[in-house]
Structure 1
Amino acid sequence: MNLHKILKYVAYALGIIGTIFALLIITGSEGMIDNILYVTYVVLFIVIALIVIYVVKGLFAGNIKKTLTTVGLFLAVILVSYLMSSGTDLNLDKLNEKGLGITEAISKNVGAGLYAFYFLIVTAIVATFLSSAKKLLNK
C-alpha cells in the first residue's frame, strides 16, 4: 500500500470525524467544541509534518541551489519588511487603555508582516500576469 492510499484513507477518516463533531456542535453539544479543536490540531500537525517531509525530500531530489536561492530571497523580503516597519504608526497609549497590551515591538512585527504580505502579493500578481502574457505571445 503506497503513501497516497494511506493518506487518502486518513483524509477520509478525519473528514468523517469532523462531520460527526460538526453535527454534534450544531445539535447543541457545546462540550464538543474542545474535541473539534483537538481534531484541528491533529490535522494541522499532520499537514505540517507532510510539508516538512516533502520539502526535505524535494531538496535532496531536486536542484538544491535553486531551492536555497528561493528561501534566501524570501528571508530577504522578511528582513527588508522588518527594516521598513517603524512600530510607531499607532497611538499605543490609546490602544493600551482598552487593555490590549500592544507594545512597540508587537506593532513593528505586525507592520513587517503586512509589508511582507503586500510585497509578496504584488510579486505573485506580476508573475501571474507575466506568465499569462508569455503564454499568449508564444501561441
Structure 2
Amino acid sequence: MNIVKIMRIIVAVVGVLAAIFLVRIIGVGDDEIKAGQDSVVQPLMYMAYVALILTIAAVLLFTVINLVKKPAVLKQTLINVGLFAVVVVIGYVMSSGTDLDLKPFVSKGLDVTESTSKYVGMGLITFYILTAIAILAMIYTGVKKLFNN
C-alpha cells in the first residue's frame, strides 16, 4: 500500500474521531465542563496532542522525502531557511531588552527578565520585518503584472 493512501486513511480516521468528540463536547455544554467534568475534555486534549504530533511527523517525513528526491528544491529551501535566520538575527540585534520597566511584572510574581524582554522584542521586530517583506513582495508582483500586460 502506498504511503499517501495510508496517510489519507489516518487523516480520515482522525477527522471522524474529531467530529465525534466535537459533538460530544457540544452536547455536554459549557456549564457542565466548568462544573468540573474534566472526563469529557481531558481525553480530547490527549487526542489533540496525538493528532498534532502525527501531523508534525507527517509534514516532516514528506518534506524530507521531497527534499531528498529533488536536490534543487533542497538548495532553495536551505537558502530560504538561511534568509529567515538572518532576519531573526537582525531582530535579535535590534532588540534591546531594556526598553520595558520590569518592576510591575516582578511585583506580580511573573518571571520576566531582560532576556525575556529581548526575546519578545526580537519576535516583534522579526514579525515586522517579515510583514514588510510580504507587503513589498505583493506590491512588486502587482506592479510587475501591470507592466507585463
TM-score range, shorter chain: 0.7 to 0.9
Match of 1:112 in 2: 122
The alpha-carbon deviation at position 2 of structure 1 amounts to 2.8
Match of 1:31 in 2: 39
CA pair 120-4 structure 1, distance change in 2 beyond 3 A: same
* Deviation sequence 1:35-64 (CA, Å, 0-9, x none): 121121112112211222233223321313
Give me the whole-angstrom Cα distance separating, in 2, the residues matched to 1:34 and 1:117: 34
* TM superposition score normalised by structure 1: 0.87
- Cα RMSD of the aligned pairs, angstroms, is 1.8
The alpha-carbon deviation at position 11 of structure 1 amounts to 1.7
The alpha-carbon deviation at position 108 of structure 1 amounts to 0.9
1:83 maps onto 2:96 in alignment: no
Deviation larger for 99-108 or 48-57: 48-57
Choose 1 or 2 for highest CA Rg. Answer: 2
The alpha-carbon deviation at position 94 of structure 1 amounts to 0.9
CA pair 9-132 structure 1, distance change in 2 beyond 3 A: farther
Aligned residues: 139
Match for 2:75 among 56, 65, 76?
Answer: 65
Unaligned runs of 5+ in 1: none
Extract structure 1 runs of 4+ deviating beyond 4 A. none
Give the counterpart letter for 2:71 in structure 1: G
* TM superposition score normalised by structure 2: 0.81
Match of 2:7 in 1: 7
Match of 1:127 in 2: 137
Give me the whole-angstrom Cα distance separating, in 2, the residues matched to 1:138 and 1:53: 39
1:50 maps onto 2:92 in alignment: no
CA pair 113-20 structure 1, distance change in 2 beyond 3 A: same
Give the counterpart letter for 1:78 in structure 2: V
Identity of aligned residues (%): 40
The alpha-carbon deviation at position 79 of structure 1 amounts to 0.8
Match of 1:100 in 2: 110
CA pair 81-3 structure 1, distance change in 2 beyond 3 A: same
Give me the whole-angstrom Cα distance separating, in 2, the residues matched to 1:98 and 1:85: 24
Deviation larger for 85-94 or 59-68: 59-68
